Chain A
């Protein structure tokens, strides 16, 4: 039996604010192509990503919510509620799909920038906690973040 611990901290009596982040995984195909461009312009702008047959990624969607930590549960939000919301509103809609065939990408190019903004729009409606940011990894080398409208 190891020795009992004595060092302690005192919990501040203020309302503590923390952030919780959850990562979801989905696989989807897409093709980068703009109706506003000619064939040549699409090819020169998007290169390989303009292949008419499309290609796919294993996307990682990182959702961050923030707010006061409930003293009775120790939580910023109910993770089960967030997971259920993600299942219905993210995974069931986008996983194993061709992004270009879906409503949000009818009029905008299915870049991961636009996908990130769409995911932000979806989770801004999550009733359980305040969305503070969305980060989407298209590959392990490319990631995109959106924190809502802000000035740079």
Chain B
């Protein structure tokens, strides 16, 4: 088995807010991130898949195909969008880096031919990132 990682980038707006809490509670827990006008990041996504090398092509997966899947399932949905207001899965969950990594896992899981999803890593910025390895 071999691991292969593909990167992609998206830029999105978000804020941190839990509807069940008062404004004071939200500001106390989330600080500046609770500003309802939102703020944004250049996110970097790293998707790692695991699989066996096809003896004829020498590939685990066709990188072009993986790139197209990332574009279709994730980038076209998240890029230049407001995650809280426009992306359906964040109507009910706070779009933290952890939750974005988990949501991307479930968007991609089972959709990559000949390989198993191994890890989804999302960088909110170069010094902060979250990893999700599925339901271990």
Contact = CB atoms under 8 A, between A and B. Distances in A.
Interface of A: 2, 4-12, 14, 16-25, 64, 69, 71-76, 78-80
- Across chains A and B, which 9 residue pairs bring their CB atoms closest together, nearest first? A74-B94, A74-B96, A8-B88, A23-B127, A19-B131, A9-B106, A18-B98, A74-B99, A18-B132
B126 to A, nearest CB: 7
Contacts, number: 90
Contacts of B135: 12, 14, 16
> Is the contact region of chain B dominated by helix, strand, or loop, or is it mixed?
mixed
Contacts of B126: 23
> Is the contact region of chain A dominated by helix, strand, or loop, or is it mixed?
loop
Nearest to A66: B131
Contact of A69 (B80, B98, B133, B136): B98
Contacts of A78: 29
Given A12-B106, A20-B98, 4 more contacts: A18-B98, A19-B130, A76-B130, A79-B128
A73 B96 contact: yes
B130 to A, nearest CB: 5
